[in-house]
Homo-oligomer: A and B are copies of this chain.
Amino acid sequence: MAYRVSKRTRVEPAYTRPMERHPTRTCLARLPGGELRRLGADDLTEIDGLRAQPDTLVWLDIASPTADDLALLRDEFDLHPLALEDLEKRRQRPKVDAYDEQQMIVSYEVLPATEADREFDLGELHLFAGPGYLVSVRWQESPAMGDVTARFQQRPDAVGRTPGALLYTVLDAVVDGYFPLIDRLSDRIEDLEDRILDGSQTRGTLRAILDLKRELLELRRTLSPQRDVANALLRRDLPLVDDTSAPYFQDLYDHLVRVLDQLDLQRDLLASALDANMSVTSNNLNAVMKRLTAFTVILMVPTLIAGIYGMNFDFMPELSSPLGYPFALGVMAVAMIGAAVFFKRNDWF
């Protein structure tokens, strides 16, 4: 189930992706010599044996966990009751929880949007790291996980050297997914700015600003605690993060700070865009009023002249002149054109 960044920003989720109906389990192991071992879905009972082996790393990846999976996690990996509850409830905040030797990490990755008016979905990811193992649980197809699986199979000795190295690889793949999203959001903000300054389509623009602001707020709400997670992994004296992997986690932290910097910049630019929208609206109003004034004057002056020659005085010498009528029409035309030129020159319409 994806942490949907749609109009429904509920604490408890209401929407479920159909894919949840296809639960899968993948278990990969890096054996002492750096060899790769892949357990089928039916061989999961062998996990116990593998974990008992020294210098072996076991990675169990579960998509859309079933009750059986939860039981396996509880029995084989000693998950804390609260961690199991989180797995059942989902929608957790990104966090690191330390239970004795086990670290539980909650993270969110970017998924392609399932609805047309959104830029992205978010996919929840629970990771459990302990001595010799990493367990990853998610509720949707995951591009990041697919990527890490491929790399693990290619270079089990590098990617699967330690649980910390594997954890870094997963989190790095997750964070890399945010960069193209940030670029797309930048494009949308620029488009918005251009549309606003062109003065076109103001009603739709307002909706676009609100939608974009909501997406930025949601994204910030997810990424800010993820940065804290990266920082906590660095700062706390965890066995996961040894001297060799510390620069990598520092790098992860730097990437998250970079993304958050961009989000803050985009929020500020969006705020400016909203202000600019107000200004453009006010300017447009000024322009409309100037036109109204110009039209009023242009039409009222000849109306007044016509009114004058419509008066019924007995002695109005112009009335009896054969040139009176064309003269009056000429005066009207001159007055109208003169006023029009005047207002045009002063940029009133």
Contacts and interface: CB of A to CB of B under 8 A. Distances in A.
Interface of A: 7-12, 80, 82, 92-93, 95, 97, 99, 179-180, 182-183, 186, 190, 193, 197, 202-203, 206-207, 209-210, 213-214, 217-218, 221, 247-248, 250-251, 254, 257-259, 261-262, 265, 268-269, 272-286, 288-293, 295-297, 299-304, 306-316, 318-322, 324-325, 328-329, 332
A283 B328 CA distance: 39
B300 A313 contact: no
A136 to B, nearest CB: 20
A217 B269 contact: yes
| Number of copies of this kind of chain in the complex | 5
A107 B229 CA distance: 26
Given A203-B283, A295-B300, A306-B308, 6 more contacts: A8-B190, A9-B262, A11-B183, A206-B276, A213-B268, A300-B303
B283 A281 contact: yes
A223 to B, nearest CB: 12
B316 A325 contact: yes
**Chain A contact residues: helix, strand, loop or mixed:** helix
B9 A186 contact: yes
B315 A312 contact: no
Contacts of A284: 286
A99 B324 CA distance: 97
A278 B279 contact: yes
A58 to B, nearest CB: 24
A221 B267 CA distance: 13
A239 to B, nearest CB: 18
Contacts of A82: 247-248, 251
A49 to B, nearest CB: 30
A133 to B, nearest CB: 20
A257 B97 CA distance: 14
Contact of A206 (B9, B265, B279, B310): B279
Contact of A218 (B8, B265, B292, B308): B265
A124 to B, nearest CB: 13
A11 B259 contact: yes
A197 B183 contact: no
A213 B272 contact: yes
B210 A193 contact: yes
Contacts of A322: 314-315
B283 A202 contact: yes
Contact of A296 (B183, B269, B283, B292): B292
Nearest to A9: B186
A311 B325 contact: yes
Contacts of A8: 186, 190
A273 B207 CA distance: 10
Contacts of A318: 313
A95 to B, nearest CB: 6
Given A210-B197, A221-B261, A312-B316, A288 B282 contact: no
